[in-house]
Amino acid sequence: MAVIKDLKTKTLSVNMGPQHPATHGVLRLVLELDGETVVKCKPYVGYLHRGTEKLGENKTYPMALPLTDRLDYVSSMSNNIGYCVAVEKLLGIEVPERAKYIRTIMGELTRIANHIVWIATHALDIGAMTVFLYSMRDREWILELYEMACGARLTVTYPRIGGVRADVDQEFLDHCYKFTEEFPKLIEQYETLIDQNRIWLQRTKGIGVLTAEEAVNWGLTGPTLRGSGVPYDIRKFAPYDAYDQVEFEVPIGKVGDVYDRYRCRMEEFRQSNSIIRQCLEKLPGGYVLASDAPGYDLAAGPRKKPAPPAPKVEPAPEAAAQPAAPPTPPQPAGPEFEEVYVATEVPKGELGFYFISDGTGKPYRMRIRSPSYIHASVLPRMCEGSLVADVIANIGTIDIVLGECDR
């Protein structure tokens, strides 16, 4: 070995992405390779940055809803729901029961659709090609259900602030029920192909291990965190929609490697399926949109009536024009700011919306805390010291969509 030490070797820097079949979008990793071992991994994001937060500040709350479809385009319905739940909390709107159940059904369908895309791409990256086509076949079913409910397949914008856009009909419910009956068999099909496959086990077990403390400290959420054994699920921690009225388990892993995260997501398939089933059975009647749901030209924000003393626009230029003015008590002069941070459990993890409202119909600040962004930041920790092939497995296991990461 002494001879090898004396050899002058050089690391090879490889630019993986933004155009690369396995980086799930436009993620760019600059890898320093020593042979096949990754010495250094530097992720670059932002290729898909569209300024959603800035755009949101200049649109009324209902108008910014379609922007959220474009965040995580694989599970757009969940993003819509997350946004609506957050705005409802801010505006204090109570959603009708039926709408809550429909949203829960949609949210879980989206979870299944997202995990299907995940297992498809993850398995394809590791080289199991057939799973990809099997799962795409089944995703079609869910997209058809979307289409039945709202006419769109990918960017749905079906939920509304205060409910959903339209009621679902009996045909949808029948198809959905049939889906829940068939789907467990389809999960078994995927598992037949990879679950006990020795090569799959070799490629996933013991790869990208994150301990529970570490995963929490990194801010990971969703199945990526639960694979490490932390049972943090917002559906249980802070139930929204109808999640407090259905029974389900939160699957967790033990080791926190790629395989455990894979198992977690496979179990979530079954749990989601059972949630949909329960919701279908319990689905109450009634309206699907709250009576006080805001329209597009939303004039007032959280305070239903605009606060009488202050016309909202005036104080700002005043304060800007005279910065040296003696500090007048800010509360009566400027608008009062109200803020909420509401997180929902989207398939990829915790999608948080943080709104600062100044009382007008537009958010003063809209912040999107996207799970993919945080998950992408953990890549160097997972990849450094592993092999090139594991980088691919690690990118797959954190389940990122760059539209959401870059916002």
Give the three-state DSSP class for 399: coil
* CA–CA distances in Å: residue 20 to residues 14, 135, 236, 348: 12, 22, 37, 22
Candidates 46-54, 67-75, 94-102, 159-167: pick the segment binding other proteins (CB under 8 A): 46-54
For other proteins, the binding residues in 48-87 under the rule CB under 8 A are 49, 51, 53-54, 58, 60, 63
The reply to whether 89 sits near other proteins by the rule CB under 8 A is yes
Instruction: Find the shortest distance in angstroms from Cβ 270 to other proteins.
Output: 22
Instruction: Find the shortest distance in angstroms from Cβ 285 to other proteins.
Output: 29
Rounded Cα gap, residues 21 and 391, in angstroms: 13
Candidates 1-9, 244-252, 275-283, 333-341: pick the segment binding other proteins (CB under 8 A): 333-341
- Rule CB under 8 A: choose which of 267, 350, 399, 404 binds other proteins: 350
The reply to whether 306 sits near other proteins by the rule CB under 8 A is no
Which string of x and - marks every residue 6-45 that binds other proteins (by CB under 8 A)? ------xxxx----xxx----------x--x--------x
The reply to whether 316 sits near other proteins by the rule CB under 8 A is yes
Beta bridge partners of 344: 351
Q: Which residue has the tokens 């409802």?
A: 88
- Rule CB under 8 A: choose which of 34, 151, 249, 296 binds other proteins: 296
Query: Containing H/E element for 345?
Result: strand 338-346
The reply to whether 407 sits near other proteins by the rule CB under 8 A is yes
Q: Are 78 and 351 in contact (CB under 8 A)?
A: yes
153 closest CA partner among 76, 84, 99: 76
Q: Is the dihedral of CA 316, 318, 324, 327 positive or negative?
A: negative
Which string of x and - marks every residue 144-183 that binds other proteins (by CB under 8 A)? ----------------------------------------
Residue 206 gets which letter from DSSP?
T
Rounded Cα gap, residues 80 and 63, in angstroms: 12
Q: Where on the phi/psi map is residue 208: left (φ > 0), alpha (ψ -120 to 50), or beta? A: left
Residue 247: half-sphere exposure toward Cβ, Cα within 13 Å: 1
The reply to whether 211 sits near other proteins by the rule CB under 8 A is no
- Rule CB under 8 A: choose which of 64, 87, 123, 156 binds other proteins: 123
Q: Are 80 and 161 in contact (CB under 8 A)?
A: no
Which string of x and - marks every residue 187-206 that binds other proteins (by CB under 8 A)? ------xx--x-xx-xx---
* CA–CA distances in Å: residue 294 to residues 69, 99, 337: 19, 16, 20
Candidates 70-78, 123-131, 150-158, 276-284: pick the segment binding other proteins (CB under 8 A): 123-131
Token duo for residue 118: 């995940």
For other proteins, the binding residues in 245-264 under the rule CB under 8 A are none
The reply to whether 241 sits near other proteins by the rule CB under 8 A is no
Candidates 100-108, 144-152, 258-266, 349-357: pick the segment binding other proteins (CB under 8 A): 349-357
The reply to whether 385 sits near other proteins by the rule CB under 8 A is no
Q: Are 66 and 373 in contact (CB under 8 A)?
A: no
Our CB check for other proteins shows the closer of 168 and 395 to be 395
